[in-house]
Structure 1
Amino acid sequence: MPDSDRQTPPGPRFDWQADLRLITEAAREAGKVAMAHFGQSPEVWWKNEGRSPVSAADYAANRILEEILRHARPNYGWLSEETDDDPARLSCDTLFVIDPIDGTRAFLAGKDTWCVSVAVVYKGAPVAGILVAPSLGEEFTATIDGPARRNGQDIAVSTAGIEDSLKLASAQDMVASFSPVLRPRIERVEHIPSLAYRLALVADGRIDATLVKKSSHDWDLAAADLILARAGGGITDLDGQPLVYNREEVTHPVLCAASAELLPALLKNISRIPRS
């Protein structure tokens, strides 16, 4: 089931617009904090056995998000890339899912394609989300019961079909996994370091689709997943299953994102990619 087919989660009626206003305020403040470090060579450490950089900017942005959000919603759970995971989140129906700087490598290299990603997740599904890309002057927002917007204007996915030329954001080895019939019509776009921002570009139609390598995390995906869904798209695993958030395991297998119409056809044309 594509994410665009998701309906408002069952249960009491919540004011997700109020949560969107809250996370928008927090993400903007975190963006300001990050921008104060941008281009200033912040201190860098390495995690995940030296494979992933984290900077003083990431930690500073995370702190301001915690201060604002946890004070405003003390009953919500918390999952952030830059906070030690607390298993207590698993007992929370509602939680914040945070990446203080998605695209840290781009940030440290002085490239503009990074963003602050904040989502509210309710019973495994994102219900409010924002991406703030301060260096680009862009904000993407959505709630489960409202439109996807970029800088306040409604956005929609591309109308490209499987028979058209397709702009695809993925590594070359993943493009090679498509069927020989489809491959000649694929135009591979330049690498976009922030996964969240890449999905936002699918949501507003600047690219048609993307393949995502395995081991992406909840915090890379939750806000962008919702924005893409409300723009008429979806992101699923290679079996067409939508993502579930706030599980014990927060990583995901190989994923594909596109418009709701294009996504099933792309999935039928993929082969040779390990599914986990």
Structure 2
Amino acid sequence: MANPDMADLQDDLDLIRNAVVGAGIIATGFFRQNVKTWTKDNASPVTEADYAVDNFLKNMLTKARPGYGWLSEETADDPLRLECRRVFVVDPIDGTRGFIRGEDSWTICIALVEDGQPKVSVLYAPIRDELYEAVAGHGALLNKSPIKRRNRLGAGPVIPAPGAVHRELEERGIDYVRGPALPSLAYRLVQVATGVLDVAVARRGAQDWDIAAPALILSECNYTLEDVCVGVPRFNKREIRHGALAAMSDLTLKDDVHDVLRKVYGCPAA
């Protein structure tokens, strides 16, 4: 007999995939145009494209699944989400600064979180024509094909990071290549699964919508995204911010990378 939960999740994946492709069309209409921008209270930018995508996704997804909660970067938080077993966790445009600059690696990210863990994930980079998706326990795909990590010959591990992290890594004598700056944290994280990067890190303060979607894609490729202070993150809690984060393909680097991130960023108080 087919697993009814799996059938539900596959239906949710189909819904989310359709929604994110529609959102990509909307966002692309604003891309490299004279888009209106504002600065939020946390000094991060937001554009009319972010709001348009957020409105589209919220209308489409919550109408189709009225019993699911909603948590999005561009929607005021509703604590009723804490009472929902399943919650859409959404970043309408991850990498807004890059979007404003006309760079092509921004993404639209949606995860369906159930009981604190992502069960369905879609991450879409419309300009690069890359659609990543995963269902828990059933692998991860890039443009409908299983994600396979590419191998590079003759080069050290590729690690993009803020300057303070680079300085600490270099002081430890680690031989590596400085990786490219990719403004979308979600996109940066999944490049560990593809082999473009060997380590991806994030400073303290990333929020659920930044990492829930790539966390599942990484997990389904047998890589782990960890908060260096508390371990594997859980989602849809009252506090949605996380400590410094790291994902990597080579676990021999784990102790050094985690130690450096704790030294540079510290850990939140209990």
TM-score between both structures, scaled by the size of structure 1 = 0.88
Map 1:155-194 onto structure 2 (within 5 A).
Answer: 155-157=147-149, 165-178=156-169, 180-183=171-174, 185-194=175-184
Alpha carbons of structure 1 residues 154 and 58: separation in structure 2 relative to 1, 3 Å? same
* Aligned counterpart for 1:42 among listed residues 19, 35, 42: 35
| Cα deviation 1:28-59 (Å, max 9, x = unaligned) | 1111000010011211111025x111111001
Residue 21 of structure 2 corresponds to: 28
- 1:198 partnered with 2:191: no
Paired with 2:195 and 2:27, the residues of 1 have a C-alpha distance of 27
SS, match of residue 158 in structure 2: strand
Residue 89 of structure 2 corresponds to: 97
Residue 87 of structure 1 corresponds to: 79
- TM-align CA RMSD: 2.1
What is the Cα deviation at residue 155 of structure 1? 1.3
* Aligned counterpart for 1:235 among listed residues 222, 225, 232: 225
| Cα deviation 1:192-221 (Å, max 9, x = unaligned) | 100010011112111001121010110010
What is the Cα deviation at residue 250 of structure 1? 0.8
Tell whether the 8 Å contact from 1:102 to 1:195 is kept in structure 2 after alignment: yes
* Aligned counterpart for 2:115 among listed residues 116, 120, 123: 123
* Aligned counterpart for 2:57 among listed residues 65, 73, 83: 65
SS, match of residue 177 in structure 1: helix
- 1:138 partnered with 2:130: yes
TM-score between both structures, scaled by the size of structure 2 = 0.90
Letter in 1 for 2:223: G
Letter in 2 for 1:165: G
Tell whether the 8 Å contact from 1:131 to 1:224 is kept in structure 2 after alignment: yes
SS, match of residue 233 in structure 1: coil
User: Whose helix proportion is higher, 1 or 2?
Assistant: 2
SS, match of residue 101 in structure 1: strand
Paired with 2:149 and 2:204, the residues of 1 have a C-alpha distance of 24
Q: Which structure 1 residue ranges, 5 or more long, are not aligned? A: 1-11
RCO (CA 8 Å, sep 6+): is it higher in 1 or 2? 1
SS, match of residue 200 in structure 1: helix
Tell whether the 8 Å contact from 1:232 to 1:260 is kept in structure 2 after alignment: no
Paired with 2:150 and 2:256, the residues of 1 have a C-alpha distance of 14
SS, match of residue 108 in structure 1: helix
Tell whether the 8 Å contact from 1:156 to 1:203 is kept in structure 2 after alignment: yes
Alpha carbons of structure 1 residues 268 and 52: separation in structure 2 relative to 1, 3 Å? closer
Residue 263 of structure 2 corresponds to: 272
Tell whether the 8 Å contact from 1:144 to 1:230 is kept in structure 2 after alignment: yes
Give the length in aligned residue pairs: 261
Tell whether the 8 Å contact from 1:234 to 1:263 is kept in structure 2 after alignment: no
Tell whether the 8 Å contact from 1:233 to 1:260 is kept in structure 2 after alignment: no
| Cα deviation 1:232-276 (Å, max 9, x = unaligned) | 211112246100100111111111111374564445663622133
Tell whether the 8 Å contact from 1:139 to 1:151 is kept in structure 2 after alignment: yes
| Cα deviation 1:126-168 (Å, max 9, x = unaligned) | 01001110011111111102111111111145679xxx82100
Runs (4 or more) in structure 1 with deviation over 6 Å come to none
Paired with 1:256 and 1:19, the residues of 2 have a C-alpha distance of 28
Paired with 2:243 and 2:141, the residues of 1 have a C-alpha distance of 28
